Amino acid sequence: MRKITSWLAVASLSFSAFIFNTTELAPVGLLTAISDDFNMDSAYTGYMVTIYAWTVAALSLPLTVLTAKIERKRLLTALFIVFIASHLLIGAAQSFEVLIVGRLGVACAHAIFWSITVPLAVRLAPEESKSKAIGALVAGGSVAMVLGVPIGTAIGQAFGWRVTFFIIAAIALLALLAITKLLPALPCHNAGNFKSLPILFKRASVVWIYVLIAVIVTGEFTAYTYIGAFLEAKGYERSVVAWLLLVGGGAGLLSSYLFGLWGDRFANLTLIVPLALLAAMLALLEASAINIYAVFFLSFAWGLFVVMIFMSLQSRLLSAAKDAADVANAIYSGIFNVGIGGGAYVGSLVSLSFSVSFVGYAGSLIVCFGLALCAAYLTRVSQKSAFLHHSR
């Protein structure tokens, strides 16, 4: 019975992750619709992704530390109240500036949510199922790409983008009720504080994870943010974008399952191989655009590889920073969003300076740099382990 209760609590967090990832990525499928509504170029409307991401990046650590002593169930309840109110503001926005204010409110909730939920999921899960708890949380985010973002895109295209955000607010209310019912009281545990920072940054493994996630996310979102504009430039209908996101999200869901099976046994392979293949997929984005089936295959491969990479890095971080999990995760979330915002900004520069057709090549070059860093680090770790083993 205790295991069932634990997994129901993890499920409520996974459902919450679904909500947060849906709203974070909703502008990707609705970018051109929002641009049309406010009479803006999509390259400039894309800055809403950059502003959101960099707000999360800037606030993740300070907000996590400021809320470190608040009981977690109460904190999650407050986050969802802010989240719902902000979505109502977004849906009613009559100017792009007001929309940005609403997105900033969501970003503040997001900054704390992703800092505390991964450690909470691990804490709530049965002792022998910690990796599966991470997988369940990531699966919730992947379902957002499978169902949330594509359906939100379809609804926005059919009834207007504002309706999408109103519906997200309504679903968030359901998530709030689930948390209220299913989560036990959760006093703060191993959250860490500002004093944890020097300790964390003295650990080479932690610093490496932070650098790598910044580079990889920047590369991926250089292309991903403008995938809708890219496909429209190639002559595809807007409805194709929703199906493309559906396929990529489905692959991400499969990837989260595969990581639960292979992540512990093949730790290096589930990082370096997907990273190399992601670089290849981004480089092939332009070439694949000549055929709809090639586009969908690439989208599936993209979703499969990128989720495997992110889960691998998240798992490594939790192992390397058990004594300050919330603070370490807050920095991770912040850097992740620096990458999202940086990728959206780089993609905008590439689109304005050259053409949106080049975003895949630009993203691939950045991911290749991340691949080189990853290979160098894993080689160093392997040599160090071999030396220690030989010394014994």
Tell me the per-residue pLDDT of 279-310, one tens digit each, with 9 for 90 and over.
Answer: 999 999 998 888 888 888 888 898 888 888 88
Give the CA distances from residue 256 to residues 160, 194, 303, in Å, rounded to whole numbers and listed in that order: 32, 32, 10
Instruction: Mention every residue, 6+ apart, whose C-beta is less than 8 A from residue 148.
Output: 18, 19, 21, 22, 25, 26
222: region left, alpha or beta (phi > 0 left; psi from -120 to 50 alpha): alpha
pLDDT grade, residue 269 (50/70/90)? confident
Cα–Cα–Cα angle for 224, 217, 157, rounded to 5 degrees: 25
- Of 112-116, 233-237, 259-263, the one with minimum mean pLDDT is 259-263
Q: Give the pLDDT confidence score for residue 251 in this predicted structure.
A: 82
pTM confidence score? 0.73
Q: Give the pLDDT confidence score for residue 318 in this predicted structure.
A: 72
Q: Give the pLDDT confidence score for residue 127 in this predicted structure.
A: 63
Mean pLDDT of all residues belonging to the chain: 82
Q: What is the rounded average pLDDT of the residues 39-49? A: 79
| Percent of the chain surpassing pLDDT 70 | 87
Helical H segments across the chain, by residue range: 2-37, 42-45, 47-66, 72-92, 96-124, 130-143, 149-159, 161-182, 196-201, 204-224, 227-233, 238-262, 269-283, 285-288, 292-320, 325-353, 359-391
How many CB atoms neighbour CB 237 within 10 A? 11
How many CB atoms neighbour CB 127 within 10 A? 6
pLDDT grade, residue 195 (50/70/90)? low
Nearest to 25 by CA among 285, 225, 203: 225
pLDDT grade, residue 83 (50/70/90)? very high
Structural domains in the chain plus CATH codes = 2-391 (1.20.1250.20)
Nearest to 56 by CA among 94, 107, 2, 3: 107
Instruction: Mention every residue, 6+ apart, whose C-beta is less than 8 A from residue 213.
Output: 310, 313, 332, 335, 336, 339
| Exposure string over 340-371, b if 16+ CB within 10 A, otherwise e | bbbbbbbbbebbeeeebebbbbbbbebbbebb
Q: What is the rounded average pLDDT of the residues 101-106? A: 94
pLDDT at 109 over 90: yes
- Show the tokens assigned to 335: 């850097």
Please give the full DSSP string across 133-175, using - where no structure is assigned: HHHHHHHHHHHIIIIIHHHHHHHHHHH-HHHHHHHHHHHHHHH
pLDDT grade, residue 102 (50/70/90)? very high
pLDDT at 58 over 60: yes
